[in-house]
Amino acid sequence: MTEIETNQRDSELFSPPSNVRGMTKLDRTAFKKTVTIPVLKVRKEIVNKLMRSLKRAALQRPGIKRVIEDPEDEESRLVMLDPYKIFTDGSFERAELSILKQLNVSPQIHKYNLELTYENFKSEEILRAVLPEGQDVTSGFSRVGHIAHLNLRDHQLPFKHLIGQVMIDKNPGITSAVNKINNIDNTYRNFQMEVLSGEENMMTKVRENGYTYEFDFSKVYWNPRLSTEHSRITELLKSGDVLFDVFAGVGPFAIPVAKKNCTVFANDLNPESHKWLLHNCKLNKVDQKVKVFNLDGKDFLQGPVREELMQQLGPLSKERKHSVHIVMNLPAKAIEFLSVFKLLLDGPPCGIELLPIVHCYSFSKDPNPAKDVQQRAGAVLGISLEACSSVHLVRNVAPNKEMLCITFRIPAAVLYKNQTLTLENQDDPPLKRQKTDKVFSEEKTQMASVTSLEMPSPSPH
């Protein structure tokens, strides 16, 4: 029997009673149900030995004991059997019958009325029984400390308080369930949320990749689904490197990178994020390695970042061994901020291998999301990035919507005023194009040292 068939048959016998359909206020007592289960009567001293040989025939249902006391004989136990495999004593396999005979156990099947309650049902089974038949069931959520963060669909909203309570009941450690009620489209990247059930305390603590973060979830941005991405970027940096984190949030990029003995400049416009970023730097003992700012991303790039780059990429930069990375994790708008890099620096250009490496995040609904992100980023910078960048697929956000990270070195022709002026002052357009192509060709060669990430195939969505 296939796994799908097994799940279907289990849902028939072990599903909640039909009278809970349409329930909007959770009534746990309404989930009582009695099912008839085949059992074997066994002497209690041989139960353990017998169970090792009856794995196929025994009931396999989480939360239900397979061996219970015999109400008629205290020296015996009742072994619960799978009602879809064992119907009569003729349902046992030859090897099982041999063991029964060896242990002097009668293969006679008895019937036992098993009472199922709310505690015996999984959250998905409960919601499938309650919500309108055929509708999507919410059983997944993002866990943020003690908070379950759900994104309910319209047809689930009449059942929102029940769904929230079920999530709390069925997930140990969850004491609050919330639902997002608007998109992340405001200045500070947080979102309005409604407490569906449980406590209204949004102050939480999470552990990610070995680091601890504390914050008020209702006032800052945090997405547990990005933990792998935080780790991926961290691994790209080496001790002594410099990181500029333009939209730092509460520190999931900045803090692990600082722990690698890197210099970090971390910024966030949201005063609450700035507050918790400072707090988490101290909490993780990296406050001496992270310089924290509370600026608009553009002001951060044109101010502290420009100032530091002028020093990092100045005349003494040839002696420098470390790399400079710029992370821009604001997928809805980060590409627009790339325009700040145009003509940002004065002075003679540094060597290509010293140019800053940008990791810029974006969403895409295009059939070829990697190419779409490259073209949009290139359009803002006024160059082609298709030959000198890599694109990493971070995650699928929604049907036909991907989150991606484009990585590239900022070309000297973009970053430096003098470089661009030299090119623009050429009288011969083909010569200008030739020199520009030469710069980009050299930078393309350097991309091999930036990252070994592969460009993803077009999204299947």
| CA separation for the pair 290, 313 (Å, rounded) | 20
Extended beta strands in 32-141, E state: 33-43, 67-69, 76-80, 110-116
Q: Which of 341, 430, 330 is nearest to 383 (CA)?
A: 341
| 437 annotated as a binding-site residue | no
| Nearest-5° Cα angle at 437, 433 to 439 | 120
Q: Yes or no: say if 377 and 362 are a contact pair by the CB < 8 Å rule.
A: yes
CA atoms within 13 A on the CB side of 279: 14
Q: Which of 442, 443, 422, 440 is nearest to 432 (CA)?
A: 422
Provide the 10 A C-beta neighbour count for residue 251: 30
| CA separation for the pair 412, 167 (Å, rounded) | 53
Structure token pair of residue 109: 């099947």
| 268 annotated as a binding-site residue | yes
| 230 annotated as a binding-site residue | yes
Q: Which phi and psi angles does 301 have, rounded to 5°?
A: -70, -40
CA separation, residue 121 to residues 15, 47, 204 (Å): 7, 27, 29
| 297 annotated as a binding-site residue | yes
Binding positions for S-adenosyl-L-methionine are: 230, 268-269, 296-297, 329
Q: Tell me the binding residues.
A: 230, 268-269, 296-297, 329
